[in-house]
């Protein structure tokens, strides 16, 4: 299952807005198309997330890498509805600190975390044929590795859902500057993708963590604002952007793994 087959071959998923939603305004339980088209910049993240949960449950989940934005959303979801549905991608090369925070989150909120792994045969072929650090040779090689370890497992994780929630923010990267709060995901058949923190600043995120004493990855305290696989993540230097430590040998314009396609990329 390639990224192209996952994202472009399936057509739009049949998401149906709640009956009578057309008479309501976004933020008041409004219909799906209203939320897709509206400027939600002044809507609280809790309101956007709450609308998504009410509209799509039980066919909605939070895809979490357990960075600080994701743990904020887990806490926020638990305050809206106790039954938080969390899925994560275990690439086989995550830092130990990521597993530690996963376990603290599981215990704190009493939730089950659904882990999705890459296919064994695909990983074996990747390492036997291309080596253990092929991702550092070129953008194409790195995206191939991400495809095996992340993109394909995410496709399996999202199967059967109508919507998924992410911790993406515009401030994180140049590639995310046009991010909207509610969008159709061209990478996964047009299903709904909800980004409640799209317009949040880094300070807002950490203020929420401090206020609610949310468990977080200790690598954040060591200069890692963005955390992925261990070989592809380093601490940033003073003055660098938030994702400078991800695939630091590449240009900023290429620093996405294929999980988050823009409408133009999916066209």
- Hey, which bits of 55-202 come out as E strands? 60-63, 86-89, 113-116, 163-165, 182-185, 191-194
Which helix or strand (DSSP H or E) is residue 83 part of? Answer: none
Angle subtended at Cα 74 by Cα 42 and Cα 200, rounded to the nearest 5 degrees: 30
Query: CA 109, CA 128: separation in Å to the nearest integer?
Result: 40
Residue 146 is a catalytic residue? no
Which helix or strand (DSSP H or E) is residue 75 part of? Answer: helix 68-80
Q: Are 132 and 124 in contact (CB under 8 A)?
A: no
Count CB-CB contacts under 10 A for residue 5.
11
> Could you give the dihedral angle defined by the CA atoms of residues 21, 54, 226 and 205, in that order, rounded to the nearest 10 degrees?
90
Q: Are 242 and 235 in contact (CB under 8 A)?
A: no
In the chain, what are the helix, strand and coil shares in percent, each to the nearest 5?
45, 10, 45
Half-sphere exposure of 60 (CA within 13 A, CB side): 22
Query: CA 110, CA 178: separation in Å to the nearest integer?
Result: 35
What is the largest distance, in Å, between two alpha-carbon atoms of the chain?
58
Active site residues: 257
């Amino acid at each position: 299952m390639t990224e192209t087959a996952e994202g472009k071959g399936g057509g739009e998923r049949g998401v149906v807005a709640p009956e009578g939603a057309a008479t309501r305004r976004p933020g008041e339980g409004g219909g799906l198309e209203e939320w897709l088209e509206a400027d939600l910049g002044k809507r609280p993240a809790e309101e956007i997330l709450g609308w998504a949960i009410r509209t799509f449950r039980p066919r909605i989940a939070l895809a979490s890498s357990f960075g600080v934005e994701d743990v904020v959303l887990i806490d926020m979801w638990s305050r809206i509805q106790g039954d938080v549905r969390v899925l994560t991608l275990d690439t086989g090369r995550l830092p130990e600190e990521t597993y530690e925070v996963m376990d603290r989150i599981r215990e704190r909120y009493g939730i089950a975390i659904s882990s999705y792994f890459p296919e064994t045969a695909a990983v074996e072929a990747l390492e036997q044929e291309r080596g253990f650090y092929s991702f550092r040779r070129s953008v194409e090689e790195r995206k191939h590795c991400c495809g095996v370890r992340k993109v394909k497992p995410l496709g399996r994780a999202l199967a059967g859902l109508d919507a998924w929630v992410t911790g993406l923010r515009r401030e994180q990267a140049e590639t995310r500057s046009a991010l909207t709060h509610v969008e159709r995901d061209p990478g996964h058949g047009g299903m709904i993708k909800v980004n409640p923190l799209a317009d949040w600043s880094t300070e807002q995120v950490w203020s929420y963590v401090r206020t609610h004493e949310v468990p977080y990855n200790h690598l954040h305290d060591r200069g890692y604002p963005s955390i992925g696989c261990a070989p592809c993540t380093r601490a940033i230097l003073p003055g660098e952007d938030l994702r400078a430590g991800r695939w630091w040998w590449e240009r900023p314009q290429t620093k996405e793994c294929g999980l988050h396609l823009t409408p133009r990329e999916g066209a």
